[in-house]
Amino acid sequence: MESYFEFFYSSPNFEEIDAKSIRYITDKIIRKSDAALAVVLGGDTQTFEMKMEKWDELTHKLSSISGIIFLLAHTSSNKEVYNQANQSIQVLQRYGNGLSLNEELYKSLKKYSQSDDARWLKGYKKKFIKETIREFERNGFALVQQDRDTLRNIKDQLSDLANEFSRNIAEHQDQIIISEKDIEGLPEDYKNRHKMEDGMYKITLDSPSYRPFMRYAKNEKWRKELYIKYLNKGNPKNTDILIKTIALRNQMANLLGYKTYAQYVIEERMAKTPNTVWNFEEELTNKVKPKAEKDYKELLSITEGKNELKSWETGFYNNILLEKNYNLNAEEVKQYFELNNIFKGIFKICKDLFGIDFVKMYHHSVWHEDVIVYEVRKKHSVIGKMYLDLYPRANKYSHAACFGLVSGRETPRGYQTPHTALVCNFPPSTPNSPSLLSHEQVTTVFHEFGHGLHQLLTKSPLAAFAGTSVVRDFVEVPSQLFENWAWDYDILKEFALHHKTEEVLPKELFDKMIAARNVGSGLFTLQQILYGTYDLTLHDKYNPLTDESPNELFNRLQRQITLTAPVEGTDFPSAFGHLMGYAAGYYGYLWAKVYAEDMFSVFEKEGLLNPKVGKKYVDKVLSKGGSEEEMSQIKNFLGREPKQEAFLKSLGL
């Protein structure tokens, strides 16, 4: 990683990274950051370049090193590297907390913000100054020194607790071992991947193992047991961590003069206040509930006499419903979605729509042999790099996410090319079958790729605003927008080929997929509302020291909001990783979907591969990052005020 310091266009040599080099690089970036800080603080030159750009450069280099180490902390299969990366992330987060509470730095930047030079600035420069000073002041510079010391201690504790919470989920290993008679209903390729030498089957909590089992396994006893195990990831350790975290967040908010942590967080988001979010959740619940009740009755109608559904039954009966009432077989659909073809299709979309090429890099340094690297080019110029880490393994991040490694930024050597990594957990290929994805997993690929495009197509002059550096309730707009390309037949027929015959996905089969698209959409949306409401309640209306336990609160809200009862013996909050990174922000998924669907309506009207619309989308949204207000980006792309109609239509309402 040594060369990574001096020339950020390059990539680290992952094969050479060991625990010792991570410790060394952590110490070195802190020393270099201290030296860079002295430059920001020193001298009397009050210019944007000498103050704000130098500050952005410091944080850019620090976050780039942190990004690589953070990735290794979530993906490395080398136990020593994994452990050291997790330790170093804590060190770097504490260092970052110290910078955010550095009074001398605050005073220096504040002084510049009041200078004649700063007063005449406009656009992204003015926005950067305003938001930088605002963030320092939100970090407690109105407080006396004793309270600031307390605040720093709270932030350090919160960083450590968040890392431990996430690590407990990633490291949680559990499974069921079942016999041939208990695996009835599962596809043959699934059985082949899970069969052990003694003829028994090991089913784990990894997504490619867990989700198909819950959908296809006829044995209800084992579905229930696996479901309970899945909803106990991180338990019991994470219960205490969550209680401590919520208490510390409350203390931090109160110290800063806010009534609740949600008030502190949402103040800087598009929603502005918790009340706006509460109203959004309530109004959406009222609109969705009738559809959810209809979905529930439709599921019950095929259960042969049941009068209620358990949580471990909904996926199973939903699959039967699709086959029985919609003549749609998910396994038949899956045969047309081979993983490599999916990415070829996405690359073609990007070529046609945005004029960019993804060129596979051979013999490139990676952190695991499964990882593939692509160089992103536009008119023969390299504009970025994307890593794909697509299969599950021990201690790896267990869901799907887009990890930003290096942000784009203008430098004296030219524009810093952004680097990003898609980290997923799809079923690996076997000697008998390639990696085949359900259509739901296909939309996951498009979702994470949408985040990747946001990072790769940035043109922000400052790293602070590059790519996905936007307010949290906007960040899911590009990702959810791009999901829609996975639902267009003209798009799919370019890459949805049967893995054996290369037959194109039949139009008749696609029509069945469309007919069934909103089956269960009401129930799914209520579940999302539950997650958002629970997250918001924890951070706006909950005292962990005097109120019910986090799990009791979740169960109570589940009874109020959804149509399925909580399952005894589960502890969902312990497995809810978003409570760390998305605190008081989970509502943002549905909030952002309103804008994503509205913006997609422009592509529907003008053409999903219309390069003019693609260019407008890049120019008005993707390239901007956070350099312009997010609502302005939306309006500039739409050419009007946003509406909810497309969102409600997408839910089948």
- Which residues are tagged catalytic? 448
- Helix axis angle, 145-171 to 54-75, nearest 10°: 30
User: How many CA within 13 A on the CB side of residue 342?
Assistant: 28
Full 3-state SS string of 511-565: HHHHHCCCCCHHHHHHHHHHHHHHHHHHHHCCCCCCCCCHHHHHHHHHHHHCCCC
> Which residue, among 37, 60, 28, has the nearest Cα to 404 in the 3D structure?
60
Residue 635 CB contacts under 8 Å (≥ 6 apart), including other chains: 641, 642
How many whole angstroms from its chain centre is CA 351? 24
Distance CA 390, CA 435 (A): 10
Are 176 and 206 in contact, with CB atoms under 8 Å apart?
A: no
3-state secondary structure (DSSP) of residue 333: helix
Distance CA 131, CA 149 (A): 23
Distance CA 295, CA 291 (A): 6
Full 3-state SS string of 381-402: EEEEEEEEECCCCCCCCCCCEE
Omega of the bond prior to 236 within 30 degrees of 0, cis?
Answer: yes
Alpha-carbon torsion, ordered 161, 167, 170, 174, to 10 deg: -90
Residue 111 CB contacts under 8 Å (≥ 6 apart), including other chains: 46
